[in-house]
Amino acid sequence: MKLLAIETATEACSAALLMDGETRLRYEIRPRGHSELILRMMDDLLNEAGLKIRDLDAMAFGRGPGSFTGVRIATGVAQGAAFAAELPVVPVSTLAALAQRAYREKGERNLLPAYDARMGELYWAGYRIGEKELVTPAIPEQVASAGEVELPPEGKWYGAGSGWGRCGERLGERLGNALLGYIPQMFCSAREVVQLAAADYEAGLAVAPERALPVYLRNRVARKMNTPAEAGRRK
């Protein structure tokens, strides 16, 4: 399997190439300039592997939620590259990918990823680690204030993402002893985007480029929950 994934929805910009079970990553934290940087990262990975876009089985991208501009960049680049090369696309939740990264680095199996959505709100969801050590949804994706986000089911939970840096105290008050801890300085990475995309691709959940849509959550721009791929992982 050969998949190329890109992620630009947060301050971190990254691209990852999965080829024959090995993942190669380009990752850089840079507040601006994602549109130029992501194209260079893609070219570097493909050239290093001796591949062209047409040699891939599919493209994947972090479809949001996150920065409106960042999500649009990833969507447009993935759609454009896939359309030109006649490839399918796998959209992956940035919240799911963040939770997957938190599991890889912290080992916690019940995860609450949260991004700062500005205007006093959070992009929020809950995930448990399920079969094949991949995240499965426990709380639907949503945008709400820290005092209104849906709390998780019983158990101990671990938080990750910029939303915890902004609202960790308020969230901690609501969760009480159910909160094990949190790490605010963690961003979504294309490494986890390509990992989740590979599982979805094998499950037959890739879509045509024109159906690879962003998810903003705010202002009802997109469905609250979930892409066809995520629905497949819930089963």
Model confidence at 235: pLDDT above 70: no
pLDDT digits (tens, 9 = 90+) for 178-204: 999 999 999 999 999 999 999 999 999
Q: Where are the domains of the chain?
A: 2-93+188-234, 94-183
**Which among 166, 198, 8, 192 is positioned nearest to 105, based on CA atoms?**
192
Supply the pLDDT for residue 31: 84
Global pTM value: 0.92
CB contact set of 67 (below 8 Å; sequence gap of 6+): 8, 9, 10
CATH architecture of 2-93+188-234: 2-Layer Sandwich (3.30)
Supply the pLDDT for residue 192: 98
pLDDT mean across residues, the chain: 93
**Which among 163, 99, 176 is positioned nearest to 133, based on CA atoms?**
99
Cα-based distances in Å from 127 to 2, 75, 105, 224: 27, 24, 15, 15
Supply the pLDDT for residue 116: 96
Band the pLDDT of 225: cuts 50, 70, 90. very low
* CA angle, residues 61, 65, 66, in degrees to nearest 5: 95
Supply the pLDDT for residue 214: 97
Supply the pLDDT for residue 221: 39
pLDDT digits (tens, 9 = 90+) for 121-163: 999 999 999 989 999 999 999 999 999 999 999 999 999 999 9
Supply the pLDDT for residue 226: 43
Band the pLDDT of 219: cuts 50, 70, 90. low
Model confidence at 230: pLDDT above 80: no
Supply the pLDDT for residue 218: 81
Fold of 94-183: Nucleotidyltransferase; domain 5 (3.30.420)
